[in-house]
């Protein structure tokens, strides 16, 4: 059984000119090829991006040089990990 959305799209496609139908066919074929080249994880990510649930590109991380230059902040008192452990007891 064809869903309502697919039926509506088919009706709309019938009203297209031959050139427009060919353009649509090529776009769908290209999309199918791109999807076939993706791993299942990439396909899932692409579907989530298309639905607007993920941003198109993952956030950029820090460069290796920025990571090498990182220096911890000096804090007075006992380590934070000890404070957390004490508060959990």
User: Could you state, in order of their start, the residue ranges of all structural domains in the chain?
Assistant: 4-88
pTM: 0.40
pLDDT tens by residue, 34-88:
777 788 888 888 889 888 898 887 667 888 888 889 898 888 888 889 999 999 9
3-state DSSP call for residue 86?
helix
Report d(CA 61, CA 73) in Å as an integer: 20
Report d(CA 66, CA 64) in Å as an integer: 5
pLDDT tens by residue, 10-38:
888 889 899 998 898 888 888 777 777 78
Report d(CA 57, CA 24) in Å as an integer: 26
Give, in order, the Cα–Cα distances in Å from 88 to each of 2, 40, 70, 82, 84. 56, 41, 30, 10, 6
Per-residue pLDDT, 33: 76
Per-residue pLDDT, 84: 93
């Amino acid at each position: 059984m064809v869903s309502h959305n697919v039926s509506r799209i088919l009706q709309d496609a019938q009203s297209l000119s031959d050139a427009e139908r060919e353009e649509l066919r090529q776009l769908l074929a290209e999309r199918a090829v791109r999807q076939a080249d993706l791993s299942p994880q990439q396909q899932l990510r692409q579907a989530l991006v298309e639905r607007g649930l993920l941003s198109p590109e993952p956030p950029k991380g820090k460069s290796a040089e920025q990571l090498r230059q990182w220096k911890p902040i000096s804090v007075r008192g006992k380590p934070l990990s000890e404070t957390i452990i004490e508060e959990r007891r």
